[in-house]
Chains A and B, each alone.
Chain A
Amino acid sequence: MLLLTCPVCGVAADETELAPGGEAHLTRFGPGSDDATFESYLFHRKNPKGVHFERWRHAHGCGKWFHAARDTVTLEVFGTYSAQVTEPPRDILDRIAAKHPGFEWEGGA
């Protein structure tokens, strides 16, 4: 059972309380962008085997969106953080690098 601590209300919620929201830190492209970037924003996903950054919503709790950094193979959670940032906080990236030597954040898509 996946447990994530909601950074908004501080509750340690299990996954039945949460709604997954997919890959985080996507750059939004709208009308006026070229076909390739629009397609990429709408459909192309990293889908990594390993470290992943995601959006989640505390649906059956405070109702707020937040971010989580997770390993998709071990289900280890590196941390959760505010939805209002465009990149993961330093301490979470350090925690990931400690587990995965050489890991670097590639930036949002």
Chain B
Amino acid sequence: MKRYSAFAVAREAMRYHAGWERAWTSPAPKSHYDVIVVGAGGHGLATAYYLGKRFGIRNVAVIEKGWLGGGNTGRNTTIIRSNYLQDPSAAIYEKSRSLYEDLSQDLNYNVMFSPRGVLMLAQTEHEVRGWKRTAHANALQGIPTEYIGPQRVKELCPIMNIDGPRYPVLGALWQPRGGTARHDAVAWGYARACSAMGMDILQQSEVTAIRQKAGQVTGVETTKGAITCGKLAIVVAGHSGVLADMAGFRLPIESVALQAMVSEPIKPVIDVVVMANTVHGYLSQSDKGELVIGGGADGFNNYTQRGSFHHIEETVRALCETFPIITRLKMLRQWGGIVDMTGDRSPILSKTPLGNCFINCGWGTGGFKAIPGSGWAMAELVARGEPGPLAAPFGLDRFREGRFIDESVAAGVAH
């Protein structure tokens, strides 16, 4: 792999940019891998990357039915934060956020991490109390966040209307080192680094069956033929139920559509990320100038990657109230992703009833921010066969044992 650098740009400028290589290879599948990861989203690719980097396991394939990063990783609103209420969540999300800080250097790929700060608005008394509680919890967890009043919110985000009409802004939870990153670049950066370690990323290959013998996984069948493996990691977000069905178990997960959209590009108007959970509106501005807008999820099982129309209306209504300046903007694109929801709105990193088969899922509406930390913890689980401290609380057994990591009461929505 040739390194990207200012020098490389200058060198290529002198020779018509003819020297750039492909970022990753497109190999034919081998007949056997030590580890097969199903799903080349951010979480699957990061799992493979840290398997190689931390544990020296490089005979790895990442199998993807579409194109890499084409699932939720390429469809999300890229909000990164770690101001969660529960300790296990704070630990894994903060690990992840801190890995984002120098991910571009680590991968030699610009993921455009932008710690511009995240404001989570309090628009009801309930939220005021909730965010104050979270700020206290974060102080104990060592995560810098602050509860701030409405005037400070207005200073940080002048285009916001803090006076209502329906839900005046009463305050906000402010995480100054939260922000955004370029979603595609995160997938591409990990993919390039995996490929450079000799791993195979097999795109346009769908896993159609999981082979097992005496309770142990032995391989997978794909649209490109059968492949055997020592260990299997299922990292397919919205399709987790489908893969679990192939492996012969059920999950505490339901898949629903979540939508986002972007406006036409405009001059910079907002340099923070704003989340308004009560009214379901999420807003930030991309470097291209588009306003990136996220909204609510459907309430019923759905694999359509489209989402219901009335959610668009709700989200736009909420944002027009909060940001009157955007009322005349045109929307450019709208899309949906299939998110994997657990009852406690916390993820699953776990062994499964099938031997040597591991699963990473349940990130639902909020797993982009978790990609580096999740890959870090998942690699450890797959390599050692047992979870490390970050993954341990997120096992499947927590449902049976009633040890929920309840972020659903803490936030209602994730992101």
Residues of chain A whose beta carbon lies under 8 Å from any beta carbon of chain B? 1-2, 15-16, 19-20, 22, 35-36, 39-40, 42-49, 52, 54, 72-75
Q: A45 near B308 (CB under 8 angstroms)?
A: no
Alpha-carbon separation in the docked complex, A22 to B254 (Å): 9
Give chain B interface residues in 238-252, CB to chain A under 8 Å: 239-242, 245, 250-252
State the total of A-B contacts with C-beta under 8 angstroms.
62
A19 to B191, CA, bound (A): 41
- How many Å lie between the Cα of A4 and that of B332 in the bound state? 31
B241 touches A47 (CB 8 A): yes
Shortest CB distance A43–B (Å): 4
CB-based nearest A residue for B398: A43
Instruction: Say whether B310 contacts A45, CB under 8 Å.
Output: no
Task: Map CB proximity to A onto B217-258 as digits: 1 under 8 Å, 0 otherwise.
Answer: 000000000000000000000011110010000111111000
Q: Which secondary structure dominates where chain B touches chain A?
A: mixed
**B278 at interface by CB-CB < 8 Å:** no
Taken together as a complex, chains A and B put the C-alpha atoms of A83 and B399 apart, in Å, by 28
Interface pair B241/A46, CB less than 8 Å apart:
yes
Assembly CA distance A67 to B111 (angstroms): 47
Going nearest first, the 3 A-B pairs with the smallest beta carbon separation are A47-B241, A43-B252, A44-B250
Give how many B residues have a beta carbon under 8 Å from the other chain's beta carbons. 23
- The 8 Å CB contact of A44, one of B240, B251, B300, is B251
- Contact indicator A45/B250 (Cβ below 8 Å): yes
How far does the alpha carbon of A34 sit from the alpha carbon of B309 in the complex, in Å? 43
**CB-defined A-B contacts under 8 Å, sample of 17:** A1-B309, A15-B310, A35-B400, A40-B250, A43-B399, A44-B250, A44-B251, A44-B252, A45-B250, A45-B254, A46-B241, A47-B241, A47-B255, A54-B300, A72-B301, A72-B304, A75-B304
CA distance A72 to B386 in the complex (A): 35
Q: Name the distance in Å between A20's Cβ and chain B's nearest Cβ.
A: 4
Contact A54 B303 (CB under 8 A): no
Q: Is B343 interfacial (CB-CB < 8 Å)?
A: yes
Q: Which of B333-352 contact A (CB under 8 A)?
A: 343
| Nearest CB of chain B from residue A71's CB, rounded to whole Å | 9
Q: Interface residues, chain B, CB within 8 Å of chain A?
A: 239-242, 245, 250-255, 299-304, 308-310, 343, 399-400
Q: B309: which A residues are within 8 A, CB to CB?
A: 1
Smallest CB separation, B351 vs chain A (Å):
16
For B310, give its contact among A1, A22, A42 (CB under 8 Å). A1
Instruction: Pick the contact of A49: B250, B303, B308, B343 (CB < 8 A).
Output: B303
Bound-state Cα–Cα, A54 to B255, Å: 14
Give every chain B residue within 8 A of A35 (Cβ-Cβ): 400
Smallest CB-CB separation from B399: which chain A residue? A43
Partner of B300, one of A2, A16, A49: A2
The answer on a CB contact under 8 Å between B304 and A73 is yes
Q: A49 vs B299: C-alpha distance in the bound complex, in angstroms?
A: 16
**Least Cβ–Cβ distance between B345 and chain A, in angstroms:** 13
Contact A42:B300 (CB < 8 A) given known A15-B308, A47-B241 = no
Q: Is the CB of B253 within 8 A of A49?
A: no
A47 to nearest B CB, angstroms? 3
Cα distance, A109 to B124, chains bound together (Å): 40
Task: List A contacts of B310 (CB < 8 A).
Answer: 1, 15-16
